[in-house]
Structure 1
Amino acid sequence: MLLAEDPGVTVVGEAGSGDEAVALLARTHPQLCFLDVQMPGGSGFEVLARAEAPLPMVVFCTAYDQYALEAFRVHAFDYLLKPYEDSRFRETLARAKEQLSREEAARLGEQLRAKAVEAGLVSAPSSRIVVRDRGRIIFLEAEEIDWIESADYYVELHVGARTYLHRESMAALENRLDSARFVRIHRTAIVNRRVLRELRRTGSGGLVAVLATGAELPVARSQQARIRQLR
C-alpha cells in the first residue's frame, strides 16, 4: 500500500462502503481522505454530503473520468484516474502534505500574533487603509469594508456597492486587520463578521457564507470548524 510506505503518513482506517466511510470520517477526523466515486451503499459525493464538517482534504481515485468536473466543484484536491502510476500518486500525496503544512503554519501564526498583541509585544492592527482610485486617495476605515477578495498581487475591497482595487497581498492585509472583526473563510476571501448572516450547507457537503450584501462565498474545508464557532 503506497500510503503505508510514507513515514509521514498515519493511516487511520479503510472503508468498504459509503456507510462505513461516513462512520470512519466521524470517528477519526482525518486530514486527508482518498475516496472512490462509486462504492457500495452510495457514491463518494454522497459520502461527502452526509459527512459532518469540517471535511478532510479529498482526493478522488476512480476509473470514471466523467466525474472529474463534479469532483472539483466539491473542492477536491485532486482526481486520480485509474490505472495511475505510483509516481502520480506520490506526487499528489506530496502536494497534499505540503498544503496541510501551510494551513497548519498559518493557523499557528494567527494564534501567536493574537497572543503577542494581547501581551503588548506587537502593535494592534491598523484600522485605516489607503486606497488609490482613479487619481484620488481614499482613506477607508477597516470597519467600512464588507469583504475582501484576492486578485493576484492585488485585493478587491468590497465596500457597500463599491469595489476598490488595492495593491497589497491578501496575506499582508490580513496581518494588518483586527482578527476580532475579520475572518478568513477561504484563501481568496476575508469577511467582516459584521456582515456575516448565515452559514449554509451545500448539497455536495460544502459550506457557504451568506453576507448581508447578498454575496454568497464558499468556506474552505480548513476553515469550516472555526467559522461554525463564531459568535
Structure 2
Amino acid sequence: MSTPLRCLIVDDVQLARDRLRRLLGMIEDIEIVGEAANVTDALERVHEHAPELIFLDIEMPERDGFALIADLPESLRPAVVFVTAYDQHAVRAFAADAIDYLLKPVEPERLKQAVERVRARRAQWSPQLVAQLQQLGGETHYPDRLSLPVDHGIRLLALDDIDWIESAGNYLCIRTGNETLILRETLTKMETRLDPKRFARIHRSRIVNLSRVAKLLPLYNGDHTVVLKDNTELGLSRTYRDALYRALAIEH
C-alpha cells in the first residue's frame, strides 16, 4: 500500500463535490483532506491541510480556478487536476501546469487515470526537493523592505515599519502607524514575500507583524483577539491560531 494522496476538492456546486468524493472513494490510497466552494476558502484549506493534489473547478462565482493557482504561495504548490463542464479552457489549464483536465460528468476511469498521473509526478517530487535544497544551500532570504508604487515614483518601505496588512479585494491596506498605504496585490502573494519569522497570517484577510503583538485574548468560540502594542484589536481565526502560537513560541 502506497502513502495516501492528500486531496482537496474545490467546486462551488455541492452536488459536484459530493459526486467527485464518491468517485475518489473508489480509488485506493486517496485521502480527501477538505472541500471548498470558492477561492478564498480554498486558500484557507491549502494553508490548513497542505494537500498534494487539488481537484479544481474553473468557473465559480467572484473568482475562478485560475485565480486560485495565481494566489498559491510558492511554498505550497500542490498538483492541479481541473474538473469542469467547459472544454474551452484546456489550453490555458495546461499552460498553468495542470496535470490533467477532466470534463464533467467525470468518468470513473478517466479520474483514475488522472490520479495515476499525479502519483507518477509525485514519485519525482522528493529527489527534486532534495536537489533544490542542496542548490539553495541554506534558508530562504527575505527582503527587508518593499517597493511600493506611488504617484511620482517608488516608495521604499521598511518591513519593520509595517504594523499589519489587510486585504480588500485585489488590494492591500498596509498599516504603518497612522498611515495606510494601498497596494494592488493579493494577500497570499504578499505572504510569500514576508519572512514567516517576522510576520504571520491571523485571518484569511490579515497578516500581522509579530513584533507588534502585545497579547492574545481568547473568545468563547475558540477565536481570539490579537491586541497590538498600540491597542489595535484584530480578530484571530481558529484556522491560524495554532500557527500564530508557534510563531510566538507560546505553549497552549
How high is the TM-score relative to the length of structure 1?
Answer: 0.51
Q: 1:158 aligns with which of 175, 178, 186?
A: 175
Of the three residues 6, 22, 35, the one matched with 1:97 is 35
Unaligned runs of 5+ in 2: 6-13, 22-31, 37-41, 51-71, 77-128
Q: 1:164 to 1:107 in 2, by over 3 A?
A: closer
Cα distance in 1 between the residues matched to 2:152 and 2:227 = 33
User: Which residue of the partner structure matches residue 51 of structure 1?
Assistant: none
The RMSD of aligned alpha carbons is 3.8
Structure 2 residue identity aligned to 1:109? S
Please give the alpha-carbon distance, in whole angstroms, between the structure 2 residues aligned to 1:151 and 1:95: 28
Counterpart in the other structure of 1:191: 208
CA drift of 1:107 comes to 9.8
| 2:162 paired with 1:218 | no
> CA distance change for structure 1 residues 151 and 101 in 2, over 3 Å: closer, same or farther?
closer
Tell me which amino acid in the other structure corresponds to 1:160: G
1:117–1:123 contact (8 Å) kept in structure 2: no
Q: What's the offset of the Cα at 1:121?
A: 6.1
1:175 aligns with 2:192: yes
Shift of 1:175: 0.8
**For residues 199 and 164 of structure 1, what CA distance do their matches in structure 2 show?**
26
Q: Which has the higher contact order (CA 8 A, sep 6+)?
A: 1
Secondary structure, aligned partner of 1:205: coil
Q: Which residue of 1 aligns with 2:67?
A: none
How far apart are residue 183 of structure 1 and its match?
0.8
| Equivalence map 1:56-75=2 (5 Å) | none
Aligned equivalents of 1:117, 1:101: Cα separation in 2:
30
Please state whether the residue corresponding to 1:218 is helix, strand or coil.
strand
Seq. identity, %: 27
Name the CA shift for 1:123/1:208 in 2 (closer, same or farther; >3 Å): same
Q: Aligned residue pairs: how many? A: 144
Partner of residue 68, structure 2: none
Whether the 8 Å contact between 1:117 and 1:124 is mirrored in structure 2 is no
Partner letter of residue 235 of structure 2? P
Moved over 6 A (4+): none
Task: Describe how 1:105-124 pairs up with structure 2 within 5 A.
Answer: 105=50, 109=75, 116=133, 120=137, 123-124=140-141
Q: Cα offset for 1:116? A: 5.0
After TM superposition, the structure 1 stretch with the greater mean CA deviation from structure 2, 134-143 or 184-193, is 134-143
